[in-house]
A and B are shown apart, each in its own frame.
Chain A
Amino acid sequence: MVDAALLAQHAVNALMLGIMYALVAVGFTLFFGVLDVIKFSHGDVLTVGAFTGLTVWLALVAVDLATPWLAVALLVLVPALATALLGALIGRFVVLPLKGAPPLNVLLATLMCGTILREAIRLFYPGGANPKPFPALLPTTAYQLGNLNLRLDSVLLFLTGVAIVVALHLVINRTRLGLAIRAVAQDAEIARVMGIDHVRTVLITFAIGSALAAVAGIMHGLYYNEINFSMGLLLGVIGFSSAVVGGLGNVYGAILGGFLFAFLQTLGAMAMPFASAYRDVFAFAVVIAIMAVRPTGLIAERGVERA
């Protein structure tokens, strides 16, 4: 008999991981939506976001302005803006020029781009090769719900993530910008004919997706209190897998995929408590199995053969 409190603890953990994975996966699916490309540097953009956050924190400490709420606000805003710019730059100078190339070349080029970012952090950030401690800025008050130990910082992080997803939903469905993004995703040619600035829409989409990655990176840092130069690689692959499992191009599929992956990991850890390290093996094995059964994800991509 599995302890109910333990089960609830696992569920909370899975929800936390799920919201982070979902934020990363949404980025992949947005990029794929507007340009039909995989931007594989996404995970490393996330790392850049996390390290920018750390730098902001160190700067705040240096000028003695490190009050928690100001720090949290800046720690989210500055990295989000920085990665939005970085994402748009990668879009403008790597992805868009490769428009006519085979899609796998874009994947490979952005993969190399990501390696450059990752290696640059490892080599040029002071002490970048080692894991860096990340400040615990949120109140860690713990609530006892029966046997369940619920920490306030987890709740706050989760709610922030949900709020961002809802905001994204509103932007995509209720604004002119969202309309433009959906139009470009549906048919870039027609969108252009209708007077939508293609390059601008694509770059804004890249900026939004990359900013989401930075938020996920900061959340990861705040939750685990540690960041390292290669954190983006695994998070990026998990986000990519989630987006693919959910069905590329579908924002809700990506969110679903993110939570699915987190629950698979947790399930793996629960089913094999003697070797919780097997959780990734289990989760990736299930992803491979899902791909074998449903080759274009759970929510199938519109039109299997794209021109």
Chain B
Amino acid sequence: MMDATVRTGRPPRLPVLAHGIAATVLVGLYVTLFLEAESQSAVLGLLAVGAAAAVVAARSGVGTRVIEVLEHHPVAMGLLAAVLVLMETWLFAERHFVLLMITTYLLYVTVGLGLTIQFGYAGTLNFAGASFYGVGSYTAAVLTAVPGFPPLLAIPAGGLVAAVCGSLLVAPVLRTRGHYAAVVSIAFALLFKTFLEVNEVLGGPQGLLVGSLSVAGYDFAAPLRPWPGTEWSFYVHHVLAALLLALFAYAVARRIEHSWLGLAMDAVRMDEIAAACFGVGIERTKVVAFVWGNMLIGMAGALYATMVGFIAPNNFTFADSLIFLSILLLGGLGSRPGLLVAAAVVVFLPEKLQLIQEYRFLLFSALVLVMLMFRPEGLVPRPPRGYPGGGGGP
């Protein structure tokens, strides 16, 4: 009797990384099947399987373990994630549309990470996410048109210009809070779109053509020929670039969260007065969060522009900013793993499920509304902060 209890008491713990590898393999398998699925019933079936798997993972505690691994082995997990994306890219190397979806996903993750730093950590709500994305895009459009300008530099330049534009808003954002800060970023979002529409220099409502990226004469917009007889989609280049950018953004967000700066941001978000009493520089903390966030968003925007080759004011509307925010709220505010899941839902679902394509804004709003009312912490809630040597979370 006693022996049986001992034996069935607790399964032996798998080595930590094995969880990560197993999760990556399963996710990879699932994503491949999902991207490959053509019929609507297959997509629906896969969705049901995915939802069931998520529930099982959450109930059995496997999900928590995977998130722990993600947090504690960033380099290994980053490499695994990169391998996963590369595998998918290789499998779908000739299909433009699938690669476009993957790139969009990676760009949305980057934007989401930028917003996470601003809103999830420092509590500075930014309703102008799509506008800063647009600032990056238009910067890339202008710079790639300059003869002799190295196109690859357009991406950091896009981030830089977005950060600078963001600092124009810093004064009102710092002085206001809550609802008053919200109106500042909403006003900026509308101002920006109207400005683009009436401005002749930037193409007005018709938009602008954007030059493609290239490194030392190697053009990103040309098909890739890895070996004779095979031709891969030009999107492969952009998947790789977006992957690097997303990994960079993830590393930045993770480093910030685990630093004193992240602790200061959390303090500022939860109680400004208490934070100020403990000597946290509120203004400095908010500025750093706002600038870094816009920087990442702008870089993603610049890469987006060079990929699609054509941008117009209608790509950067208030509704798009809301979609970006929806990703954060769906995944769980401040939760990076949640962001990865929610961005996948928001990007892949409407493309694969034509049934809901037309209704996607309606459905996502309803989903976020339900989430806010019944599970405000999101799909994958951010774990409580752990302190080295002390108690607390993982």
- Do A and B interact? yes
Identify the A interface with B (CB < 8 A): 32, 38, 94, 97-98, 101, 103-105, 107-109, 111-113, 115-116, 119-120, 123, 233-234, 237, 240-241, 244, 248, 275, 277-278, 280-281, 284-285, 287-289, 291-292, 295-297, 305
| 0/1 interface trace, chain B 352-381, chain A, CB 8 Å (1 if under) | 000000110110011011001100100000
Q: Which of these binds chain A: B43-51, B190-198, B218-226?
A: B190-198
| 0/1 interface trace, chain B 159-191, chain A, CB 8 Å (1 if under) | 000000000010110011111101110111011
Are the C-beta atoms of A108 and B372 separated by less than 8 Å? yes
Q: State the CA gap A278–B197 with chains docked (Å).
A: 9
Are the C-beta atoms of B186 and A237 separated by less than 8 Å? yes
The residue on B at minimum CB distance from A291 is B172
Are the C-beta atoms of A288 and B182 separated by less than 8 Å? no
Q: State the CA gap A105–B361 with chains docked (Å).
A: 19
User: Which of the four size classes fits the interface of chain B?
Assistant: 35 or more
**A109 proximity list for chain B (CB < 8 A):** 368-369, 372-373
Beyond the given pairs A94-B369, A104-B125, A295-B180, 13 more chain A to chain B contacts, judged by CB atoms under 8 angstroms and listed by A's residue number, are A108-B329, A112-B369, A115-B361, A119-B359, A237-B186, A240-B186, A277-B198, A281-B194, A288-B184, A292-B175, A295-B175, A295-B177, A297-B180
**B326 proximity list for chain A (CB < 8 A):** 112
Q: Whole-angstrom distance from the CB of A91 to the nearest CB of chain B?
A: 14
**B178 proximity list for chain A (CB < 8 A):** 103-104
The residue on A at minimum CB distance from B367 is A112
**B369 proximity list for chain A (CB < 8 A):** 94, 109, 112-113, 116
Q: Does B273 contact A (CB under 8 A)?
A: yes
Of B177, B188, B191, B372, which one neighbours A98 at CB under 8 angstroms? Answer: B372
Are the C-beta atoms of A119 and B376 separated by less than 8 Å? no
Q: A94-B369, A108-B325, A296-B180 are in contact. Are A284 and B361 (CB under 8 A)?
A: no
**A284 proximity list for chain B (CB < 8 A):** 187-188, 190-191, 194
Are the C-beta atoms of B273 and A107 separated by less than 8 Å? no
Q: A115-B322, A284-B187 are in contact. Are A291 and B373 (CB under 8 A)?
A: no
The residue on A at minimum CB distance from B374 is A97
**B184 proximity list for chain A (CB < 8 A):** 288, 291
Are the C-beta atoms of A244 and B183 separated by less than 8 Å? yes
Of A119, A287, A297, which one neighbours B365 at CB under 8 angstroms? Answer: A119
**A101 proximity list for chain B (CB < 8 A):** 372, 376
**B358 proximity list for chain A (CB < 8 A):** 123
Q: Whole-angstrom distance from the CB of A113 to the nearest CB of chain B?
A: 6
